[in-house]
Amino acid sequence: MPAHTERTPQAAVTVIGLGPMGRALVSAFLDAGVTTTVWNRTPGRDQELVARGAVSARSAEEAVTASELTVVCVVNYDASDSVLQRPEVTTALKGRTVVNLSADTPGRAREAGAWAAEHGIRYLDGAIMTPTTTIGTPHGVFIHSGPKELYLEHKPVLDALGGTHTHLGEDIGRAAAYDIALLDIWWTSMTGYMHALAIARAEGISAQELAPFAKGIGEILPPSFEEAAVEVDNGTYAATVNPLTSAASTMAHIVHTSEAHGIDASLIRAAEGLARRAIGLGHSGDELTRLAELMGRRG
């Protein structure tokens, strides 16, 4: 539980968006003693929060007028734009601050930042990197980007959400860039795991039987991530342990086993294709990290 935040004129916030994450944010603000106004496009989602002390706004304009700081948490920037760019809401936000925690691309974040600057709205972008159950606890992870002075001004209220808050830089799209890259790791890894479970099941191995060994593979990943990061940043790809020729051979075994069972192998086929492309370009003695450079090429 975060430390209690004193009720001062600054310890007030408006939250727009009352999906599961938005409601978790409101709960954390209320638990910390922050005066919290709420609004949602679909009526009726605020009843439990109002019973706990939240103030229900009758309109988005009324909601953003209630606080110097508005936190937006909706499905994407199409949804946030549809609220914030209503003429009456845009006018009401002039001189106030928006922290947009909605998920979208770095490009959309920069477009929103430019729109905000054009209309005299102070703007920060951000992302929540942990599930709803971590909000209001020490385990939440929040990243932010935009003007640092603006971030520091509102950090005391944002700290009511618990966890760690990291300002990543002045570029408004930087938090979204981190978010996209980290979600890429998550979804690619979990999709790979689902594929592995399908193969195991086809071979008569239950998911629970495989899980302890899968956990062991997972424990290898953190040091591998750090080593790979050094190699990619330094451009030193020469293999010391596992050259691309070996990796491609192993990937081919997975493809063949998958397809022998009629399992879709498109994910691992794509990985094998990248490895064989790198080999064809003369990088057979390099580590898998060469693929970062290969995929990053334009043209």
Mutual orientation of helices 106-118 and 174-202 as an angle, nearest 10°? 150
Contact, 101 vs 71, CB < 8 A? yes
Contact, 136 vs 28, CB < 8 A? yes
* pLDDT tens per residue across span 59-104: 999 999 999 999 999 999 999 999 999 999 999 999 999 999 999 9
What's the pLDDT score for residue 11? 87
* pLDDT tens per residue across span 137-191: 999 999 999 999 999 999 999 999 999 999 999 999 999 999 999 999 999 999 9
- Mean pLDDT in residue range 273-297: 96
Average pLDDT in the chain: 95
Per-residue pLDDT for 10 more than 60? Answer: no
Write out the two tokens for 3.
């430390």
CATH of domain 206-295: 1.10.1040.10
User: How many residues can be counted in the chain?
Assistant: 299
Q: Domain 12-171: which CATH class?
A: alpha beta
* pLDDT tens per residue across span 213-242: 999 999 999 999 999 999 999 999 998 889
Domain borders along the chain are: 12-171, 206-295
